[in-house]
Structure 1
């Protein structure tokens, strides 16, 4: 009877026929098998763990900063005035069976989620997966990263312990340092003088942001299904043909199994590694010694520490503190550039075609160099957040570390850009030689004419596709407008396009539909001109 009813629903109703069509499409749709796809599964597993543990923790948490006298089972705090939020967290930790495990699991998943999303962003960037038609997916992934940081930061403050109080005091000072509107924003955020009603306000944020995150994730999933999965060049692969495993059931089972594995690892870590234990209530007059922010917000803290002292001026009857304005401006520009980079590259290259084949990072040296420079910039800011701990561990002065990081912030990205471009070019030259002559065998053979040559082994078809496959768009020079004039913006775009594509090596087999395979033969050991 159940089978008959199911068949009736699938065949006679519009929703049933639509569902049957979707299932059939998913069974026939192919998904490329790549290790980098696992970062998305890790992020999804982290979100599931966060949602499940977060819903459970909601029933035990009291989002209130109203003071009460603690009378729980933790003897060192008997008779101490604490907030209701801290009291509920401490009772959850030491009295509720499994409560500490839930808190630790929630916290570890919150730390893993931004890492998985960052890896996805890096993979998409270096392989060119952000190009048409996936520019919207890139922006959504960036917004998911922002939402994960916002959710983590708001949850960081909810225990109302000494560590969260220290972090909130820093945030309060930063907000107050914003000219003109700083006092108003601080009052709105904290609900009055510090600490105000910050727990109640952040609790609302901590509940709303995950809902927005899930919505963004759903939209991105829909776009991924619509545009299908990109893949690297290879035999049988093209802009229209995908080589891989069926989405249902193969890819779904693999993803589900890996999600279970990630969840198990998170549970194991949460059960054995304690992070951020709640031992003392927040106190506006005290701060935790050696406190550090969660790793994903470290670059924000590092930006504040790198500003030289005394960067202030008096203007319009107000004090403009660049110790706050400069980091906020730099970080804001940095984040905006990440979000809009696909549109910037598309404008520079004038590339309006759809791309379903991924690039090898070495084949786009300028884009790869830009990515490595951005990573270096982020790494310097992130490392600066622990400058005080580094100074203590290595017996160095804090000032010397800050000065070194200031130099590294200015010089490091430039050096990283130049080195990365040269490395990519060298790798392209090597790939070109291998595609032409094959792999060196080390065997030296004497020919009948007395000439000595080295034997080479030809690469197989898969390797030939990997070396010579993929698209190589050409540079589009600056073009005059309808009036026959070159605008300043178009002239700048032409120069950027020339710089973006310069020193590019065209692969040996690019002009053919199939890569040309060298047969095992003796070839000259000399290097051919390839530029």
Structure 2
């Protein structure tokens, strides 16, 4: 059997200086005459023996030989990620989803998705002998009798809040920097869809304990669905399994929360990440960045270690919060009773704005073509539908309004697009107002202000604050854009229109702002 040969660069200083090469076989032996003669000297550098491949390497080579996966793996390892902290917001959402899956699987082992009544005989004395649903009883058992069960519930709940929050902040970053523009408008559509799926996933999971607070939220959702003209009763019956409450409701919510919605989320997240990989990342404008390059860290090893560190940091912070701060104590709320309701009460923040719209809604039921429109329809269905439609179609609305249909790979600074920035700020102001309205009873008790007075104030702010915010932010962004266009370094401008520059001797001097920028 013949010997195989390989080329290798010698490690000797002479070879590095002269550029000579030596030839060695697999055992590290030099080929006869393999040394190269330079100036009467023959270099003979014996290379170390070649390491035999391990079984894992053989398996990887076997797999690569049949799939060609190695080429794509090398491409993935060389992918460049922009070096800016705002690009990690999406990773926080991804890591939260992983934590939700892990804790959710744990809780599934102990949860019973059943609305049939049973008697509670657990260690929590205030509810001893109470008639509860099997779902509520299993949550109580998980909280008080399963080792680390309450901690897992708390981690799961807090992670859900952070998950929705990180998605919202990530979308805000994409919106204000214009990262949704062509060709990434398709990923914006997927991102908004992810937000809707996450909202549905959070609400269905929040409702599974079958406690009084979550049951009240389900009754509100049932009323909103019922208010839709023509199809409302049919749709509500389809979702809830009949007239609320029904014995099938918890099992249906369980299927949505554990099977359908997670599957859709996994598919949407995978598609989102695939498109990001194919299209490459956007990046902020700088001297090094251009429309045709990406400046940052390679996936391996830089971005991998950063992402792994962020994963552990996210998990640690959430676990710390879950261990120290109580959330959703269902034993204090008690089991759901159809004729009972607790007050003051408010839902989780990500659906609080929907309840806020209902609380701000006017007692107005118009009749159109002989059909009475129930009062929850406009604030509970129409307004959220309009808001999400605008959010979903914003890339196309902006492209149509500005006439800009070109591809963009560099991000805008917020002041570069005053209308977009002002619109986003007005949307945030509107969200804050209606979120506060979702807890108007809690705020009223805390401030000792009648709920009616607080609701009237919030109704005024619902109209005034977004408009005032839009005008203010538009003026600020436009002023900043004009100053930038004039060449002024606004980061050092004082009220008098001058800038401070450090001299060569270590002192400071006042100069004209535009002159200082030119320097």
Instruction: Name the TM-score, length of structure 2 as normaliser.
Output: 0.82
Q: Which residue of 2 aligns with 1:182?
A: 232
Q: Which residue of 2 aligns with 1:287?
A: 341
Report the Cα distance in structure 2 between the residues aligned to 1:199 and 1:104, rounded to whole angstroms: 21
* Residue 75 of structure 1: how far off its partner (Å): 2.7
Q: Could you tell me whether the CA contact under 8 Å between 2:483 and 2:490 is conserved in 1?
A: no
Q: Which residue of 2 aligns with 1:478?
A: none
Give runs of aligned pairs for residues 168-317 of structure 1, distance below 5 A: 168-196=218-246, 197-207=248-258, 208-279=260-331, 280-309=334-363, 311-317=364-370
Q: Could you tell me whether the CA contact under 8 Å between 2:356 and 2:437 is conserved in 1?
A: yes
Report the Cα distance in structure 2 between the residues aligned to 1:370 and 1:314, rounded to whole angstroms: 33
RMSD: 2.7
* Residue 426 of structure 1: how far off its partner (Å): 2.2
Q: Deviations over 1:313-354 (max 9, x none)?
A: 345554322442344111101111101101111222232322
Matched residue pairs, number?
A: 456
Matched, 1:51 2:97: no
* Residue 417 of structure 1: how far off its partner (Å): 1.2
Q: Which residue of 1 aligns with 2:146?
A: 96
Q: Deviations over 1:11-59 (max 9, x none)?
A: 5655666322123213322211111122112111210110001011111
Q: Deviations over 1:401-437 (max 9, x none)?
A: 2222222222222211111111112223443455579
Matched, 1:402 2:455: yes
Q: Which residue of 1 aligns with 2:121?
A: 71
Report the Cα distance in structure 2 between the residues aligned to 1:437 and 1:284, rounded to whole angstroms: 60
Q: Which residue of 2 aligns with 1:342?
A: 395
Q: Could you tell me whether the CA contact under 8 Å between 1:439 and 1:457 is conserved in 2?
A: no
Residue 141 to residue 430, structure 1, CA distance change in 2 (3 Å): same
Matched, 1:166 2:219: no
Q: Which residue of 2 aligns with 1:511?
A: none
- What secondary structure does 2:100 align onto? helix
Q: Could you tell me whether the CA contact under 8 Å between 2:177 and 2:412 is conserved in 1?
A: yes
Q: Could you tell me whether the CA contact under 8 Å between 2:297 and 2:303 is conserved in 1?
A: yes
Residue 321 to residue 425, structure 1, CA distance change in 2 (3 Å): same
Give 5+ residue unaligned stretches, structure 2.
1-50
* Residue 366 of structure 1: how far off its partner (Å): 1.2
Give runs of aligned pairs for residues 318-467 of structure 1, distance below 5 A: 318-432=371-485, 435=488
Q: Which residue of 2 aligns with 1:21?
A: 71
Instruction: Name the TM-score, length of structure 1 as normaliser.
Output: 0.80
Q: Could you tell me whether the CA contact under 8 Å between 2:487 and 2:514 is conserved in 1?
A: no
Give 5+ residue unaligned stretches, structure 1.
443-452, 459-519
- Structure 1 window deviating more from structure 2 (138-147 vs 397-406): it is 397-406
Bigger Rg, which one: 2
Q: Could you tell me whether the CA contact under 8 Å between 1:86 and 1:161 is conserved in 2?
A: yes
Report the Cα distance in structure 2 between the residues aligned to 1:45 and 1:524, rounded to whole angstroms: 49
Q: Which residue of 1 aligns with 2:203?
A: 153
Q: Deviations over 1:71-110 (max 9, x none)?
A: 2222332322211111111111111111100111110001
- What secondary structure does 1:25 align onto? helix
Report the Cα distance in structure 2 between the residues aligned to 1:300 and 1:438, rounded to whole angstroms: 40
Q: Which residue of 1 aligns with 2:15?
A: none
- What secondary structure does 2:373 align onto? strand
Report the Cα distance in structure 1 between the residues aligned to 2:490 and 2:435, rounded to whole angstroms: 45
Report the Cα distance in structure 1 between the residues aligned to 2:392 and 2:494, rounded to whole angstroms: 46
* Residue 361 of structure 1: how far off its partner (Å): 0.4
Q: Could you tell me whether the CA contact under 8 Å between 1:440 and 1:456 is conserved in 2?
A: no
Q: Could you tell me whether the CA contact under 8 Å between 2:89 and 2:166 is conserved in 1?
A: yes
